[in-house]
């Protein structure tokens, strides 16, 4: 009869295997550092261009990212016919640098506080990052 014992048997049995990756190391993370509505100008009667400054960083696990924006006036009124050039926003994600992109929307030019709310999604991970921009005061 052979008897064997090892003082580190439990520690060895419960140790991480070679190549183990912690869950936090393979999840998509998105960080918005700056997101500000800097300027608004009327481009045609009833149609305005809103310039946003954004700086977003993400890790390599995110895959393809997409974004959408809601334009909001005085904290409650949503703008109609908002259009964004998605490629401009994605460029900011890819360069992980500060970028300016323009959103156009129907707007009557009435005085008020306007801001944008961006939703960033990674379809593979279902990550959603939602953030409000700083507010721009439109004067009469």
Here the CATH number for the domain that contains residue 45 is: 2.60.40
Task: Give residue 100's domain range.
Answer: 28-138
Separation of alpha carbons 134 and 128, rounded Å: 19
Residue 114 covered by a domain: yes
Give the chain's count of helices (H) and strands (E): 2, 9
Residue 10 covered by a domain: no
**Count of domains for the chain:** 1
| Closest by CA position to 28, among listed 60, 5, 74 | 60
pTM of the full structure: 0.73
* pLDDT per residue as tens digits for the range 7-58: 665 556 666 666 555 555 567 788 888 899 999 999 999 999 999 998 888 8
Contact 73, 108 (CB under 8 A): no
Query: How distant, in Å, are the alpha carbons of 4, 49, 72, 97, 136 from that of 77?
Result: 75, 17, 5, 31, 15
Residue 55 covered by a domain: yes
């Amino acid at each position: 009869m052979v008897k064997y014992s090892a003082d580190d048997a439990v520690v060895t049995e419960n140790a991480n295997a070679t190549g183990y990756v912690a869950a936090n190391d393979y999840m998509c993370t998105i960080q918005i550092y700056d997101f500000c509505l800097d300027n608004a100008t009327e481009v045609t009667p009833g149609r305005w261009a809103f310039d946003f400054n954004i700086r977003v960083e993400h890790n390599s696990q995110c895959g393809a990212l997409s974004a959408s924006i809601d334009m909001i006036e005085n904290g409650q009124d949503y703008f109609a016919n908002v259009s964004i050039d998605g490629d401009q926003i994605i460029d900011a994600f890819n360069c992980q640098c500060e970028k300016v992109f323009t959103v156009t929307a129907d707007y009557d030019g009435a005085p008020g506080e306007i801001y944008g709310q961006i939703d960033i999604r990674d379809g593979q991970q279902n990550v959603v990052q939602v953030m409000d921009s700083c507010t721009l005061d439109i004067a009469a």
